[in-house]
Chain A
């Protein structure tokens, strides 16, 4: 595990449920930590649906080898944010990765042991939904390094139910849970300013209370955040002040507080 020797903190981003914004928030948190002057790595272990290259506008990048292993892709010249994803290894981005569990497990082990991360303040690990091969592989290979996990949910019961199972997974695997983030918490109509609870209301906060876990904050459902994702941008760099910007900053602040207490 030499390649991880200089990685100070590993944060795993989990959710039982798909489509709640794990990758979106992994990227925005990575951007936010970078803006605070930290060196950040982002490891995408969603092998079937690798979103990270798209969300960082790095789709055309490829990975190079050095003596110690793979050199991660840097999001910018300052090399403060480094990234690894299977997306960089595909010949064509529309090629499906049709792998059963053992092959996925082996790839994740390579991503953990063979990437030359160098010195990192934070390594953020974005995962696919579920509690299966990929998640077990991450826990097994990063057991000693994991600072903790954050669980992403949307407010509605059907998402919260899956996140409750993910919490059990963390507890069974002795992974500290840093907190829960509730994403897509309400949409403000641009016309009449009515708050529309598209995906119901409050489930994430209630779960955190019920399970005695820190609630790291709510992030609204915001087309501007979706646009930032499409363009590979940080919401924190957006020119206009928005509740979403504040919400993401709030999540990062709370996360750092819990992680370092």
Chain B
């Protein structure tokens, strides 16, 4: 299916879904001009309905966003996953769509696994009986392999992950994304438009240079009518393991994360300290909530997970057919 702005499009392509598609002056000479002008590609992408069908047994879908890189999206996704699956009655899946930097296999301790196919599709990798994961990391044959793909190719893989993975019945599907507001983010929201997304959790660190990007991410969600479950403030403070002295490593200026959340009228889900145990677990593929359950970070994750669950249970995931305020 043609992407909204195909890779071979000219610089001022109006977009394949535009009224001017194929007719604008910029379209002259474009290889897609005839097909755009014919109106064929404004028809809905049949894969979107297929994806909705494949994910019909997934009760809640949550996107994990951040404008900023390195704030801990993947770590937060993993620990939310571990927290949710600590209830043995709950089935949890994690989809990693950070194609260039797929961290999830390492963080979840399943780095050297390979994906197998069955008649039902690709089988996700099971971390625990009730916690499974799919990541582009499983498709790379060596840790040195780089995925040097432009946007359109990345979108193709994301679609495959949504359409062709045999998730089975899930209570929660958490989707870890790369930083930014680009192809992957537009595509995941588009591809799930019929399946429905409960909402997005946005991760940040306290400093203003991170908040700059988070505000953009909030506005991105608002533009796409994507509900925001809330903001998580990661790496809020460091407690010295030796003397218990608290230090603020990433100093907030102005109102801080909670103030920004209030100003932008989005929920503040809580803060997670900058804890060497978190990094240690991530590097060794261990579950923080299981390995260090009484640590301040694990308690913070438990509290945040409860709020996320409450949001999902109280709100119906909107789809493209709903009118959203």
Contacts of B4 in A (CB 8 A): 100
Contacts of B106 in A (CB 8 A): 157-158, 161
Cβ-defined contact, B279 with A191, below 8 A:
no
B249 pairs with A226, CB closer than 8 A: yes
Smallest Cβ distance from A229 to chain B, in angstroms?
6
Contact of A49 among B3, B67, B219, B250 (CB under 8 A): B67
Query: Which residues of the partner chain A approach B151 to less than 8 Å between Cβ atoms?
Result: 100-102, 104, 132-133
Whether the Cβ atoms of B69 and A132 lie closer than 8 Å is no
Residue of B nearest to A24 (CB): B209
CB distance from A180 to the nearest CB of B (A): 15
Q: Which residues of A contact B245 (CB under 8 A)?
A: 189-192
Residues of the A chain whose Cβ atoms lie less than 8 Å from the Cβ of B282: 156, 158
| Interface status of B43 (Cβ within 8 A of chain A) | no
Let me know if A98 and B242 touch, CB within 8 A: no
Please tell me the size bucket of the interface on A: 35 or more
Interface residue B144 (Cβ < 8 Å from any Cβ of A)? yes
B238 near A18 with CB under 8 A, answer no
B258 at the interface (CB under 8 A from A): no
A130 to B4, CA, bound (A): 22
CB neighbours of A79 from chain B (8 A): none
Q: Give the contacts of A15-72 with B (CB-CB under 8 A).
A: 16-20, 23, 48-49, 51, 54-55
Evaluate contact between B216 and A102: CB separation under 8 angstroms. Answer: no
- State which of B163-171, B181-189, B298-306 sits at the interface with chain A: B181-189
A132 touches B154 (CB 8 A): yes
**Sample (26) of A-B pairs whose CB atoms are under 8 Å apart:** A16-B146, A17-B69, A18-B70, A19-B69, A48-B179, A49-B68, A49-B212, A55-B209, A94-B215, A96-B223, A129-B69, A131-B100, A132-B151, A156-B279, A156-B283, A157-B283, A158-B106, A161-B106, A162-B100, A164-B144, A168-B144, A169-B148, A187-B247, A191-B243, A192-B242, A199-B279
